[in-house]
Every structure is written in C-alpha cells, then in structure tokens.
C-alpha cells in the first residue's frame, strides 16, 4: 500500500509569489491535515480536511489556505510569500477524524523563500 | 489542549531497553496519549497510542500510570535506527478532531 505522497519535494520561490503544494493520502483515507515545521517553532498544525470540508484550522494568517477534492487528495496554497514561510510542510492522512486515529505523514515539501 | 512535559534528551546503548518518560498532569478523562517519532529528514511516524490500559505493538510498549498523569514509552531493544525525536501528545477524545499539538519532544541518541 502506497504511503502519503507529497509533491514537489523541494521548492524555491521568491517573496510575493504564491505556491501550491499537493498531498495524496493513503488509499481509503478520508482525512488530511497539514503541518508546518520550522527550527524555531517546531511542528505547528495548519488545517484539517475531511470529506472536502475544513474541520479545524490552526493559528495561521489567511494567506494560508487549502482544499480537499472528492478523491481525498488535498492541496494547500500560500499566497504573497514571506521569508518566514520557509519551512518543511508536512501532510498527514488518516482513515477518519478523531482522537483515536493514527496519522500517517508524508516526507514533506521543503519550501525556501528567497 | 492539555500539555505534556518531556526531558530534552536521552542517551541509550544499542540493544538495551529504553524508557522515555512523559508527564501530563492536566490530562482529562477522554484524552488519548499518542507517541510519534521523527527520524532525520523524514516526516513524523506513528509509534503507539492508548487511553487507560498499557499497550503493546511491534514497535514499542506504552505504560500508562494508574492516575494517567504520566506515561512511559518503552523500546525493548534500542537500535541505531531508533535515534530520533520522540513526541508525546495528548489528543482530545470527544468530537472529530485530528489535530496534533507537538511539543519539543525528546531527542533519543543511541550509542553503538
């Protein structure tokens, strides 16, 4: 069974640009969540989608958005990039939502903003 | 979310057992205790989770104190591949919420 796939693996952008990251969950998983990891702040929750609906959102500005498609694949978008958006963006999937669910993470997209 | 406290780092020898502690004195009755680990240059990996009873799986064991205010992740025979950052996380029980609140975790070093 294939794991969580994130594309691209690496990305370099300049300030002011926008970026779209993609996540394909494990087959059969309906919940997808996104996390940002930086050396200073560690791992921080961005948002969670289940059945194409955003179920939960972290404390990030509106420049960060996402969506989920009917096949459970998800994208996140960051507009008007800032230097501080340089980070590893991780996607995780689970069968459903809830505190008893295991999350399976992808290897992430490393975004560098110059 | 209820908070967890872990030591910053721990060292162990290869092929010896490792006990990684976690304190969660403000845990609520419906919080699940989850452990994830992150190897260098990889995304976090699920290790184990439990609610009240001790749990075992092929990777590790989770020992939960009777009052649930602390727990211990046990790696029975550490290998070099177990060197990672281990995160102890509490997740709310009721409601549909897959959010994980990561702390700084404990960095485990394994000596050959």
End-to-end Cα spacing for chain B: 38
- Grouping H, G, I as helix, E, B as strand and the rest as coil, residue A2 is coil
Each residue of A6-35: pLDDT tens digit?
Answer: 999 999 999 999 999 999 999 999 999 999
Nearest to B22 by CA among B36, B42, B11, B39: B36
Distance CA A26, CA A19 (A): 23
Sort A1 into a burial class: Cβ within 10 Å, 0-12 / 13-18 / 19+. Answer: exposed
Distance of CA A53 to the CA centre of its chain: 15
- The nearest alpha carbon in chain B to A34 belongs to B99
- The nearest alpha carbon in chain B to A91 belongs to B43
Among A55, A102, A106, the residue with its CB nearest the CB of B96 is A55
- The nearest alpha carbon in chain A to B100 belongs to A45
What's the confidence (pLDDT) of residue B93?
A: 58
User: Of B8-17, B70-79, B94-103, which gets the smallest average pLDDT?
Assistant: B94-103
Among A94, A105, A107, the residue with its CB nearest the CB of B98 is A94
Each residue of A37-50: pLDDT tens digit?
Answer: 999 889 999 999 99
What's the confidence (pLDDT) of residue B12?
A: 96
pLDDT at residue A99 is higher than 90: no
Distance CA B85, CA B9 (A): 9
* Residue B92 to chain A, least CA–CA distance (Å): 6
- The nearest alpha carbon in chain A to B37 belongs to A105
User: Of A59-63, A85-89, B24-28, which gets the smallest average pLDDT?
Assistant: B24-28
Which is higher by pLDDT, A1 or A92?
A92
**Chain-chain contact of A33 with B49 (C-beta, under 8 angstroms):** no
What's the confidence (pLDDT) of residue B91?
A: 85
Residue to substitute from A33, A99, A105, A110, interface B, most B β-carbons within 10 A? A99
Q: Which pLDDT band, with edges at 50, 70 and 90, does A100 fall under?
A: confident
What's the confidence (pLDDT) of residue A64?
A: 98
How would DSSP label each residue in A8-67? -SEEEE-TT--EEEEEEPPTT--EEEEEEEETTTEEEEEEEEETTEEEEE-S--TTEEEE
Taking the CA atoms of chain B, what radius of gyration do you get in angstroms? 13
User: In angstroms, what CA-CA distances link B105 with A39, A52, A79, B47?
Assistant: 13, 32, 31, 14
The continuous run of DSSP H or E covering B38 comes out as strand B32-38
Residues of A in contact with B30 (CB under 8 A): 99
Q: Which DSSP letter does residue B5 get?
A: B
Q: Do the Cβ atoms of A106 and A25 come closer than 8 Å?
A: no
**Chain-chain contact of B99 with A102 (C-beta, under 8 angstroms):** no
Q: Do the Cβ atoms of A69 and A60 come closer than 8 Å?
A: no
In percent, the amount of chain B with pLDDT more than 90 equals 77
What's the confidence (pLDDT) of residue B94?
A: 54
In percent, the amount of chain A with pLDDT more than 70 equals 99
B39 token code pair = 């190897």
Mean pLDDT of A71-97: 96
**Chain-chain contact of B102 with A4 (C-beta, under 8 angstroms):** no
**Chain-chain contact of A45 with B30 (C-beta, under 8 angstroms):** no
Each residue of B1-35: pLDDT tens digit?
Answer: 568 999 999 999 999 999 999 999 989 888 899 99
What's the confidence (pLDDT) of residue B102?
A: 86
Nearest to A81 by CA among A112, A103, A55: A112
């Amino acid at each position: 069974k294939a794991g969580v796939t994130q594309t691209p693996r690496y990305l370099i952008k300049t300030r002011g640009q926008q970026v779209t990251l993609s996540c394909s969950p494990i087959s059969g998983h309906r919940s997808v969540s996104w996390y940002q990891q930086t050396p200073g702040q560690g791992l921080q929750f961005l948002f969670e989608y289940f059945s194409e609906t955003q179920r939960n959102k972290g404390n990030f500005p509106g420049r960060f958005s996402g969506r989920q498609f009917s096949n459970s694949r998800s994208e996140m978008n960051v507009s008007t990039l800032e230097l501080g958006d340089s980070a590893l963006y991780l996607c995780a999937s689970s069968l459903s939502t809830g505190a008893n669910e295991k999350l399976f993470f992808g290897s992430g997209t490393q975004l560098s903003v110059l | 979310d209820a908070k967890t406290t872990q030591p910053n780092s721990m060292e162990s020898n290869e092929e010896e057992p490792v006990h990684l502690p976690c304190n969660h004195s403000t845990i609520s009755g419906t919080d699940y205790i989850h452990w994830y680990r992150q190897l260098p240059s990889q995304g976090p990996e699920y290790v184990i989770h439990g609610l009240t009873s001790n749990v075992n799986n092929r990777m590790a064991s989770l020992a939960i104190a009777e009052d649930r205010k602390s727990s211990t992740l046990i790696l029975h025979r550490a290998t070099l591949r177990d060197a990672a950052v281990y995160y102890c996380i509490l997740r709310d029980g009721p409601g549909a919420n897959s959010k994980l609140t990561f702390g700084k975790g404990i960095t485990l070093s394994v000596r050959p």
